[in-house]
Amino acid sequence: MAEPRVQGWCPGALRPMQSGDGLLVRLRPRGGRILPDAAAGIARLAIAHGNGLLDLTSRANLQLRGVTDASYPLLMAGLQSLDLLDATAAGEARRNIVVSPFWSRSDGSQAIADALADALAGPDAPELPGKFGFAVDCGDVPVLNHISADIRLERGADGDLICRADGVTAGKRVTAESAVAAGLALAHWFLGSGGTTQGRGRMSLHLKNGPTLHPSYLEAPAQPTAIASPKPGPAAAGFLVGLEFGQMRAETFAALSRLGTLRATPWRMLLIEDASVAPELAGLITSRDDPLLRVIACTGSPDCLQAARPTRKLARSLAPYVPDGAVLHVAGCRKGCAHPASATVTLTAGLDGFDLIREGSANDAPTRVRIAPEFLLAHPETLIETT
């Protein structure tokens, strides 16, 4: 199987990435919130200067697809008028923050996220790798444990806030006022202790390689890891709606903007603030039992230049055969961008078919290789075979 090219960085608005369907322009909503006027404006810009498709990413970001070299400057002017751009591309890249969508006005999440964003834009901010990120998860029960992040500001087992390095089960006890300083100190330690190689690096892998954290960052136990990802329906602070493969038409986003402020989530769902019932809009997943919630698939070819094959038509067809509680990940290449973590079953595309991995990620060793998609469609039981 051909090795995909690893970029080592994520796209932004100020630094878009070329994809098979044009430039990919990624917005990082501040605090995870998108106000109604901003959402409506983004939808208009996606139609006018892109192909009208919007993606929600696993880091709660919003991507505009199909932007051209000619339309990009016009898109940037529009985003600037909505106050959605960072001052610099470097500052945008450092502002890699996921905020729990279930925050409340009393738990300090938004104030911490704002202060962290300001600190990461400062002149003395640590020059972290492009994929290095922070999670702000200050509700009573952390929900971002399975979401990629390197430094976590969350509620510990005793109810106090802690700053925790990803990969360990304890953290430093902090307050709302000291959380950001503790997080930045941990980021500087990561860099100073050799956490990067050729501009890349992640906290958990670095800790596995031997460096020892200061004892103060191991003093307070974390809460047990959350098991299940949220599903569509009523939730703290509003109503969650899902999207097929995290993608929607800009017209759907515009319609959602008329229902209230939106919170982006890392589960490729949107939370409509203060809503209590499912909106009657086409293109949304509102049932907790929808089989599409059990499948994950990247854009695939031809819209992704790295992908060896189309992915989503196969994933959609196989979804009804995925057992409840299981996850099927169909990856266009070994990078597995849509779901870097382990899945119950992963199908990784290659030029000669799909490799099948059980309880692993797209780059793990397969149990079966070069399976034709036609065979999978004719024999979906292949997914749940145990031998």
Q: Lowest mean pLDDT: which of 37-41, 143-147, 151-155?
A: 143-147
pTM (two decimals): 0.93
Q: What does the pLDDT average to over 17-23?
A: 95
| Share of residues in the chain with pLDDT > 90 (%) | 91
pLDDT band of 2, cuts 50, 70, 90? very low
Sign of CA dihedral 354, 355, 358, 362: negative
Q: What does the pLDDT average to over 109-138?
A: 96
Q: Which residue has the tokens 């051209």?
A: 68
For 174, the 3-state DSSP assignment is: strand
Q: What does the pLDDT average to over 225-252?
A: 92
**pLDDT for 225:** 80
| For residue 228, pLDDT beyond 80 | no
Q: Lowest mean pLDDT: which of 35-39, 223-227, 366-370?
A: 223-227
Which residues fall within 8 angstroms of residue 198, CB to CB, at 6 or more apart?
8
| For residue 3, pLDDT beyond 80 | no
| For residue 143, pLDDT beyond 90 | yes
For 45, the 3-state DSSP assignment is: helix
**pLDDT for 134:** 98
**pLDDT for 6:** 58
For 139, the 3-state DSSP assignment is: coil
| Share of residues in the chain with pLDDT > 70 (%) | 97
Task: Return the CA Rg of the chain.
Answer: 20
**pLDDT for 7:** 59
Distance (Å, whole) CA 109 – CA 136: 6
Q: Structural domains in the chain?
A: 17-87+230-273 (3.90.480.10), 91-221 (3.30.413.10), 291-384 (3.30.413.10)
Q: What does the pLDDT average to over 26-33?
A: 97
Mean pLDDT of the chain: 94
**pLDDT for 1:** 43
pLDDT band of 387, cuts 50, 70, 90? very low
CA 192 to chain centroid: 27
Q: Position 241: which residue type? A: V
